[in-house]
Amino acid sequence: MSRIDDVYAKLQIKTGAKLVLVVLDGLGDVAMREQGWMTPLEAATTPNLDGLVSQGCAQGRMIPVVPGITPGSGPGHLALFGYDPIEFEVGRGVIEALGLGIELTSGDVAARANFCTLNDQGVVTDRRAGRIATEVCERLCGILSAKIKKIGTTAVQIVPGKEHRFVVVFRGTGLEGPLSDTDPNREGFPIAVAKPVDPKNEGQKKMAKLIADFYKVALPLLKAEKTANGFLMRGVAHQPEIPTFEQRYGLKAAALAVYPMYKGLSQLVGMVKIEGPSTIREQFERYAKEYSNYDYFFIHFKYTDKAGEDGNFEAKKKAIEEFDAALPILLARKPDVLAITGDHSTPCSLKGHSWHPQPVLLHSAASGSDKLCRFTETGANHGSLGIFEAKYLIRLMQAHGKMFDKFGA
């Protein structure tokens, strides 16, 4: 824990204020000439957001990690939850495993995997095996699970995900990540060898050997398959030690997320996963019902990011409008502190995550007004929050919830 975290911890008090974080995944964007120099957020019709802004909001932009660095969903969300993403590195395998409901214990190593197609020479010809159906994935994971319970003394757990995706968890002693991926990242290359990121790390060396052994027993089991006759592994990492939300902030937190990765991220910091809702409207309705049961709500909306990844300006605009239409359900419950933002930008023009600071809006009785009419990237540039590192967002939310004593006399 840093010196500054220590100051925050010492000043922390309980006030019973309710904090709500709505993450429109990949919300931030970059104005496009073809769209009259607009961003999807600027082009969207958002009467309810506009109304919220007129009630008094503070706006700004957040640097997801450090300037110029594009985060994955993991670091993006850890920062929003107040965990320095450079201090707390979490492998994707761990996050995926958590998202599938696998209970990891400290020291477990998890890897994301996906079925792929190999030709006779062992060259990857389709990195996603034609996106096989989830049922096929389940059948193949069943075959692997039935035959591979252990490698040496290390227990192996194989859990199917959606379509071509699955997760492999290794539980033994002295295992450590991270390793390099076996995914060559392009078709036309063979499966790569997983190597220790730190060549001197004994745990990583042991783990690299295990992955190689796993391939040796697993690949022959898939030989009969036509498309999904191989698999690639990524984000091989061990479960790090992370203080929970309750330990760190004294807040009882709940997560309303639909996608496994975000459920996993919330579980990693000890949030309670509220299952059931599948649309943003249902998520807000459920939040309203659970309002009195938690101090902090994390509500995750995926479709802004999806549209950005597809480079689909119109779809991203529509996703924002879908969120806006549901917003009154959230606002009716009048949370004490509401933050609406993204975990990063996913500009349509880049068709992927980016480093551009995402816009953030903060609404509370203490937020005042930045005298802006709407919530947009350009407007946020003029806001009272300025541009700050995303890891401070929760500190501002706590401050707006009056959750800090005065520092010094």
- 345: Cβ–Cβ under 8 A, 6 or more apart, which residues? 26, 27, 28, 29, 30, 308, 353, 354, 355, 356, 357, 358
Task: Please choose, out of 1-9, 164-172, 218-226, 319-327, the segment that lies near its own copies by the rule CB under 8 A.
Answer: 1-9
Binding to its own copies (CB under 8 A): which residues in 282-341? none
Compute the distance between CA of residue 172 and CA of residue 78 in angstroms, rounded to an integer: 27
Contact 36, 306 (CB under 8 A): no
Compute the distance between CA of residue 248 and CA of residue 10 in angstroms, rounded to an integer: 11
Q: Is 53 helix (H, G, I), strand (E, B) or coil?
A: helix
| Cβ closest to its own copies, residue 197 vs residue 325 | 197
Question: Minimum distance between the CB of residue 10 and its own copies, rounded to whole angstroms?
Answer: 10
| Cβ closest to its own copies, residue 164 vs residue 286 | 164
Question: Minimum distance between the CB of residue 380 and its own copies, rounded to whole angstroms?
Answer: 9
Strands 358-363 and 337-341: antiparallel
Contact 42, 378 (CB under 8 A): yes
CB atoms within 10 A of CB 357: 23
Binding to its own copies (CB under 8 A): which residues in 212-271? 234-235
Question: Minimum distance between the CB of residue 409 and its own copies, rounded to whole angstroms?
Answer: 3
Judged by CB under 8 A, how many residues of this single chain contact its own copies?
A: 72
| Cβ closest to its own copies, residue 86 vs residue 193 | 86
Task: Please choose, out of 66-74, 156-164, 208-216, 276-284, the segment that lies near its own copies by the rule CB under 8 A.
Answer: 66-74
Contact 19, 398 (CB under 8 A): yes
Closest CA to 243 of 69, 51, 36, 8: 8
Separation of CA 115 from chain center? 22
Question: Minimum distance between the CB of residue 225 and its own copies, rounded to whole angstroms?
Answer: 27
Among the listed residues 4, 133, 155, 193, the single contact to its own copies using CB under 8 A: 4
Binding to its own copies (CB under 8 A): which residues in 381-400? 381-388, 392, 395-396, 398-399
Among the listed residues 73, 267, 304, 358, the single contact to its own copies using CB under 8 A: 73
Contact 141, 218 (CB under 8 A): no
Question: Minimum distance between the CB of residue 152 and its own copies, rounded to whole angstroms?
Answer: 28
- 224: Cβ–Cβ under 8 A, 6 or more apart, which residues? none
| Cβ closest to its own copies, residue 8 vs residue 245 | 8
Using CB under 8 A as the binding rule, whether residue 143 contacts its own copies is answered as: no
Backbone angles phi, psi at 199, to 5 degrees: -60, -15
| Cβ closest to its own copies, residue 39 vs residue 182 | 39
Using CB under 8 A as the binding rule, whether residue 272 contacts its own copies is answered as: no
Binding to its own copies (CB under 8 A): which residues in 343-362? 347, 349-350, 352-357
Compute the distance between CA of residue 76 and CA of residue 342 in angstroms, rounded to an integer: 9
| Cβ closest to its own copies, residue 291 vs residue 388 | 388
Question: Minimum distance between the CB of residue 363 and its own copies, rounded to whole angstroms?
Answer: 13
Using CB under 8 A as the binding rule, whether residue 37 contacts its own copies is answered as: yes
Binding to its own copies (CB under 8 A): which residues in 168-187? none
**Cα–Cα distance list, 339 to 52, 58, 60, 110, 336 (Å):** 11, 10, 11, 32, 10
| Cβ closest to its own copies, residue 91 vs residue 160 | 91
Contact 222, 140 (CB under 8 A): yes
Among the listed residues 20, 43, 46, 91, the single contact to its own copies using CB under 8 A: 91
Using CB under 8 A as the binding rule, whether residue 72 contacts its own copies is answered as: yes
Report residue 193 as tokens: 């060898």
Question: Minimum distance between the CB of residue 386 and its own copies, rounded to whole angstroms?
Answer: 3
Task: Please choose, out of 29-37, 206-214, 273-281, 282-290, the segment that lies near its own copies by the rule CB under 8 A.
Answer: 29-37
